[in-house]
Amino acid sequence: MSKRGSKPEEVVKKPLKKILMIHGYRQTEKSFREKTGGLRKSLKNQADFIFCEAPHIVLKREDEFGEDSNQENIDEKGWWFSSENKSYNAQLETNCDLGFEESLQYLDNVFQTQGPFDGILAFSQGACLGSVLCKISKLNQTDEINKFKNIKFNFAILVAGFKSGQTQHDFYYEQKIDFPTLHIIGETDKVIPKDMSEKLLNYFVEPKVFVHTGGHFVPVNADAKNSIINFLNSIN
């Protein structure tokens, strides 16, 4: 309590954490921005969110009548493909990662031109990619040889994440990744089943986990918000 006549003590606000937002397969920067609007609003005093967009266009889907199911005719994007016909299946193990290298080069440039970032928040295929980025960032922090030198950050929030099924990515998971992570898992996720996200936990040292009752989306309820705030507060 300040003395009479003295100036009140100023409350020092913590600087906002700068977080790179990485969308999922068949999303765009715009769609991910819209889907996370509620969460970003609730965390406006915690973080500043910067969005990016995958460099690869995903082939449009057709409905049972052969019509384009993307009614808004928006190019959906992906970070890489698991088959040569430019499709992606998270649950298959393959040796095809078409476009993966280009996405890492793109993100390396994002980190160089729009960073530095304190952390990332990534969803679905983006969260799978995020697990790889954690390893790359860790390599950069320890000065090990790595071509993507600009990818550096301090924490990751991985929503509906999973280990990459591309066999050439096994290198990134050979040793447990000692990196601060919060894994958000949907109890009823039908796209990335809960057990896939739980398996990813095995590749991190002391991962923090929040499980929600919903499906394949970024949860915005109070418990989810509090789990993220508590995690962010734990980061120095």
What letter represents residue 195's amino acid?
A: D
Q: Which of 82, 103, 124, 227 is catalytic?
A: 124
Q: Which of 189, 197, 212, 227 is catalytic?
A: 189
Is 124 a residue of the active site?
Answer: yes
| Cα gap 219→221, rounded to integer Å | 6
Contact 60, 70 (CB under 8 A): yes
H or E element in which residue 102 lies: helix 100-114
Q: In what order do the strands lie in the sheet with 119-123?
A: 47-51, 17-22, 119-123, 155-159, 181-186, 208-212
Of the candidates 175, 131, 120, the residue with the CA atom closest to the CA atom of residue 153: 120
Is 23 a residue of the active site?
Answer: no
Q: What separation in angstroms does the CA of 67 have from each of 61, 74, 78, 98, 236?
A: 8, 14, 21, 26, 51
Q: Which of 42, 48, 87, 216 is catalytic?
A: 216
Is 189 a residue of the active site?
Answer: yes
Active site residues: 124, 189, 216
